[in-house]
Amino acid sequence: MPKKIKLGFKSDYIAIIDLVPEDELQTGRKLEENINDYINEYELKYACELYKCVDRSQFTDTLNTIKQRLIDTGKIPLIHIEGHGSKEGISTPDKDIILWSDLFKLLREINLLAQNNLFVSSGACLSGYAMKEVKILEPSPLVCLLAPVQEVQAGKVIDAFSVFYKLFLNPDEDLNNAIDRFHKETEGTEYLFIWAQQFFNNGARSYFLNRFNAKARQCLLEAQLSVAMKNIRGALLSVARKYFKKNMKSSIYKILTKSHKKFMMIDIYPENADRFPFNAQELEESVRKK
> What are the phi and psi torsion angles at 210 (to 5°)?
-115, 15
Helices marked H in 74-193: 100-113, 154-169, 175-185
One-letter amino acid of 38: Y
At 269 the three-state DSSP class reads: coil
Closest listed residue to residue 203, CA positions, set 262, 244, 147: 262
Per-residue confidence in pLDDT tens, the chain, 290 aa: 344 334 479 999 999 999 999 999 999 999 999 999 999 999 999 999 999 999 999 999 999 999 999 999 999 999 999 999 999 999 999 999 999 999 999 999 999 999 999 999 999 999 999 999 999 989 999 999 999 999 999 999 999 999 999 999 999 988 889 999 999 999 777 999 999 999 999 988 887 777 645 555 566 556 655 655 555 555 555 665 566 555 555 578 888 999 999 999 999 999 999 999 999 989 888 887 76
Is pTM beyond 0.75 here?
Answer: yes
Q: 78 forms bridges with which residues in the sheet?
A: 14
Q: Does residue 222 contact residue 216 with C-beta atoms inside 8 Å?
A: no
CB–CB of 191/217 below 8 Å?
A: no
- Which of 214-248 are b and which e, b meaning 16 or more Cβ less than 10 Å from the residue's Cβ? eeeeeebeeebbeeeeeeeeeeeeeebbeebeeee
List, in order of start, the domains of the chain with CATH numbers.
Answer: 3-195 (3.40.50.1460), 199-289 (no CATH)
Distance in angstroms (rounded) separating the CA atoms of residues 161 and 219: 41
